[in-house]
Every structure is written in structure tokens, then in C-alpha cells.
Chains A and B, each alone.
Chain A
């Protein structure tokens, strides 16, 4: 049995959204997703999944706050402590196991409500071995990986700046790309280092936003649309401690990809919350991504079109909605007539957890 995406909706994708509560933001995204799917969540959706993490919400046992805004009031609602692609993976399991024909998945970010977001990231680190030794800047964990990746591949700081420049420009025309900008390599290299080798423009900003995805079984999907987007998803956690990780190798994403059916992809949508991660993550799917960058092959029409709508460097990091944000990009890409796309998502520092979402028509 295949599972398809039959509707997607989003709201926000701005640095702050003071006009809405997180619940109102999710309701807006859900309304758009159900309108696109032409479904009434109160009658047509069997299960609801919310992907969230208590410390991002600022509410412990935040899953109690999940149902109403996605139509799940007094209905089977299930929470996933993780990225929205992990939510999709659970939704696929709901449908393939036969307990559901239609499942809605949401993820959201109210990052602007978190006044001490760096401290929350620090709180996610190993309390005995990592936190006491950590520099007061959580980007050091990404810098460790960047340095390892540089040494292994020969990637330069100019290459990283080139990625930022391309991605920030790719965001122009993308309505979710609040951080799109016209920056050239020398603009980017003029910034001071945050954590060697990362400069401020190498690091995507946080953003508020909500994304809702409606999944359906094959028969329901075919009854709703002539052009369903079929999906397959996987997730993998490598470790929770940098000393145990193959830094710069994206082992978490390779582990996830190893579980997915192999197919040719027309486009790649990978977590680039740190510039170098675009290459590290693309390398899971394509050989020698650094050469592809230098040869100008990452744009539409190239041999490895990657984040052609700007990725997270342009759209921002919407916490657990990051994977679904990339899925929105992949969906846009398929709507242009392409046959397949892949999302390579990551939960960000301090995690070593990755997700793959394969999408095809």
C-alpha cells in the first residue's frame, strides 16, 4: 500500500508572529491544508499527529495542547517528540497498519516566544559530559562538524560563503523566505567568526511558522486527486554525544537513507541551518557535493538541484517544523513538473538525528 500527501498548509515564517498564539498559527496552517485536500477534519481525518518538544513550547506535557487546533478535539491525537518528518513517518505507519485512512501531521515553531533559546539548546546537551565542558555558544557543536568536514573534503570558507550567497538569493520569490538577501561572497566573509569556521551568515536564524500535512491511503488519495504525491519516510539517531559521532559524515542521515527505497531524485531539499550542512547532507544522496557546488550544478537545471527555493538559510529554522518546511519546498518543486524529490532533515544541534522523506509523483 502506498501513502500520499493530499494537502499541505503553512502559516507564518516570520521572525516573530505576535499577532497569533501558537494554537492560532497551527489552526491557520491546518485550515489551508484541509482546504487543499478538500477534507473536513471533523469527519474525514482518522488520526492526528503533532510533532513537538516541551521545552520549545514552554509547557510541560505540551501534547495536551495539541488536538483542538488541528481538528483533533475529542479525536485520536498522538504526539511525536521530534521533527515533522518523524511525524509523517508515524502517520505512514498509522495508515499502513490500517488504523487510519487519513492522518494529519503538524509541526510548528514559536521560537520568538523563547527568551533563552540558547539555554534551552544547552539544556538538551548531555548533563554530565558535555554541558560542563561546553563553550557558551551552542554553535560550537556545528563548528566541530564543519571543521571535520573541511579537513575531509577540502571545503573552504569561500565555499561556505558561496552556499550562503546562493541560498539567500534562492529565497527571493519564496513567500516563506523572510531571510532572503542579496549577499555576495565578500559580504559574507567580512563577518567575524562565531565559532571557527562559522560566521554569522553561515548560521540560519530561528523563525516562527506552522506546517500541516494531510496524508491519505492510496485509495483515498486517488479519489481526492489525479496527482497525489507519494511518500516514504525514515529516521535514524546516531548518538547523543559528539565523542561518539562520526563528525562531518552525517551518519544520522545516512542511517535514515539506508532504510529508504532507492530511486533517482530530480531535486534535493536538505537541512542547511549551517551552510556547510548543505554539502554534508547532499553528500548522503550525491557523490562529491563540493565539486557539484564548484561546478555550479546545484541550481535548477544542474545535475543536483538543491534547496532551489532558499532552504533554511532563507526561510529560517522553525524548530520541529524544519523537515516539513523542506517538504513544502519539495512539493513546490514537484508541482513544477518534476517527478521526484528527497528531503534530508536534521533535528539540529545538539542532536545526531536525521530524517529522510522521499516524495514522488
Chain B
């Protein structure tokens, strides 16, 4: 048996769209891009509309509130240890888009109880972002989305 640990390290360029988005998080803003042709809003943003294949036309600020589209509770860590408390996360459809095509939305942690995930009462619930006091321009500037 030959053991080998690859030394793969990267520094991903966020690029134009995602850099603006990440800087917006520092200001407690969730920013998306919009295509004026199809009205699709991209959160996280893209500088091009994948549907129309043209540059997106501008920025929109979405509310840091929305409704839970779906949610899960995970009981196992990346290293397959049993977690004492499940990590609850899901996708949140944010308010503020003219066009309702699946999302604009985010995947993030949801501050709720396991019971509400199990009985699915969290799905469709209104949630709002809980922001960190110290924000660095990361998706982690939002602690979670909490029921309101």
C-alpha cells in the first residue's frame, strides 16, 4: 500500500459578480443581478444571463428575508462522526424578484428545530437573515436564516 496526500491548494477568483455580492454582505445587503430581457434575477449573481446568453443589465438589492423552499437536518459530520445536534440547512427563496423562476435564493443554515424539519412545517415558513456583528465579505457573514 502506498500512501499519498495530495497538496492541492487553490485561491478561487470570485470575479466581477460574486465580488460585488460578497462586498455587499459586509453591508448586510444581498445583491443580485437582473436580466432585463427575461427578468430573471440571479442570487448569487452572474454577470451574464445563462438563459438569454447576454450580459446581465444591473444590480438589484433583495430583502434578507424569504421563505424556506426545502430544508434538511444532517446528523453526520464530514468525518462521519455523529453530531450531538443536527445541522439544519436549506434553500431560501428571497423576496424582491419580479420573476419567480425557481429562485433567486440561497442555500444556508436555518435556525430552527429538528422537529419542524421532520414534520415539514418549516417549509414555507418566513425566515430572515441573522447577520454577524463582524462581517468580512463571506457567505459566513450570515449566521443563519431564522424564523420570523
Whether chains A and B associate is yes
A191 at the interface (CB under 8 A from B): no
Kindly list 13 other residue pairs between chains A and B, CB separation below 8 angstroms, not including A30-B53, A41-B53, A116-B8. Answer: A21-B16, A40-B53, A42-B51, A42-B53, A58-B8, A68-B46, A69-B48, A71-B53, A112-B13, A115-B10, A119-B8, A120-B6, A123-B8
A114 touches B13 (CB 8 A): no
Bound Cα distance A265, B51 (Å): 41
A21 touches B6 (CB 8 A): no
Known: A127-B2, A128-B2. A20 touches B10 (CB 8 A): no
B8 touches A24 (CB 8 A): no
Bound Cα distance A115, B12 (Å): 10
* Residues of chain A at interface, number, CB under 8 A: 35
- Could you list 9 A-B pairs, sorted by A, with CB under 8 Å? A21-B12, A42-B52, A42-B53, A58-B10, A114-B10, A116-B9, A119-B6, A127-B4, A131-B4
Known: A73-B51, A113-B10. A132 touches B16 (CB 8 A): no
B77 at the interface (CB under 8 A from A): no
Bound Cα distance A34, B54 (Å): 11
B134 at the interface (CB under 8 A from A): no
Contact with A along B61-83 (1 / 0, CB 8 A): 00000000000000000000000
| Most A CB within 10 A of own CB, among B2, B13, B47, B50 | B13
What's the nearest-Cβ distance from chain A to residue B47, in Å?
5
Q: Which residues of A (87-140) have their CB < 8 Å from a CB of B?
A: 110, 112-116, 119-120, 123, 127-128, 131-132
Residues of the A chain whose Cβ atoms lie less than 8 Å from the Cβ of B52: 42
Q: Which residues of B contact A (CB under 8 A)?
A: 2, 4, 6-18, 46-48, 50-53
A68 nearest CB neighbor, chain B only? B50
Question: Which 9 A-B residue pairs are closest in the complex by CB-CB distance?
Answer: A21-B15, A58-B10, A68-B50, A73-B50, A119-B7, A115-B9, A116-B9, A71-B53, A24-B15
Bound Cα distance A42, B11 (Å): 32
Bound Cα distance A18, B18 (Å): 12
Bound Cα distance A114, B47 (Å): 23
Bound Cα distance A127, B18 (Å): 37
A110: contacting residue among B7, B13, B48, CB under 8 A:
B13
Main secondary structure of the interface of A (DSSP, over half): helix
Residues of the A chain whose Cβ atoms lie less than 8 Å from the Cβ of B51: 42, 73
Bound Cα distance A22, B47 (Å): 12
Residues of the A chain whose Cβ atoms lie less than 8 Å from the Cβ of B11: 113, 115
What's the nearest-Cβ distance from chain B to residue A132, in Å?
7
Residues of the B chain whose Cβ atoms lie less than 8 Å from the Cβ of A69: 48, 50
B13 touches A113 (CB 8 A): yes
A23 at the interface (CB under 8 A from B): yes
Residues of the B chain whose Cβ atoms lie less than 8 Å from the Cβ of A19: 15-16
Residues of the A chain whose Cβ atoms lie less than 8 Å from the Cβ of B17: 21, 24
Bound Cα distance A110, B17 (Å): 17
Residues of the B chain whose Cβ atoms lie less than 8 Å from the Cβ of A24: 15-17, 47-48
Residues of the B chain whose Cβ atoms lie less than 8 Å from the Cβ of A42: 51-53
Bound Cα distance A71, B50 (Å): 6
Bound Cα distance A245, B2 (Å): 24
A115 nearest CB neighbor, chain B only? B9
Bound Cα distance A132, B1 (Å): 13
What's the nearest-Cβ distance from chain B to residue A108, in Å?
12
A132 touches B2 (CB 8 A): yes
Residues of the B chain whose Cβ atoms lie less than 8 Å from the Cβ of A71: 53
Residues of the A chain whose Cβ atoms lie less than 8 Å from the Cβ of B4: 127, 131
A116 touches B7 (CB 8 A): yes
A206 at the interface (CB under 8 A from B): no
Residues of the B chain whose Cβ atoms lie less than 8 Å from the Cβ of A55: 8
Bound Cα distance A119, B13 (Å): 20
Q: Which residues of A (22-54) have their CB < 8 Å from a CB of B?
A: 22-24, 27, 30-31, 34, 40-42
Bound Cα distance A356, B53 (Å): 31
A25 nearest CB neighbor, chain B only? B15
Bound Cα distance A96, B52 (Å): 28
B14 nearest CB neighbor, chain A only? A21
Bound Cα distance A67, B9 (Å): 25
Residues of the A chain whose Cβ atoms lie less than 8 Å from the Cβ of B14: 21
Residues of the A chain whose Cβ atoms lie less than 8 Å from the Cβ of B2: 127-128, 132
Residues of the B chain whose Cβ atoms lie less than 8 Å from the Cβ of A237: none
| Most A CB within 10 A of own CB, among B9, B12, B53 | B53
What's the nearest-Cβ distance from chain B to residue A74, in Å?
8
Bound Cα distance A260, B4 (Å): 40
Bound Cα distance A116, B10 (Å): 7
B16 touches A58 (CB 8 A): no
What's the nearest-Cβ distance from chain A to residue B80, in Å?
18
A57 nearest CB neighbor, chain B only? B10
A22 touches B10 (CB 8 A): no
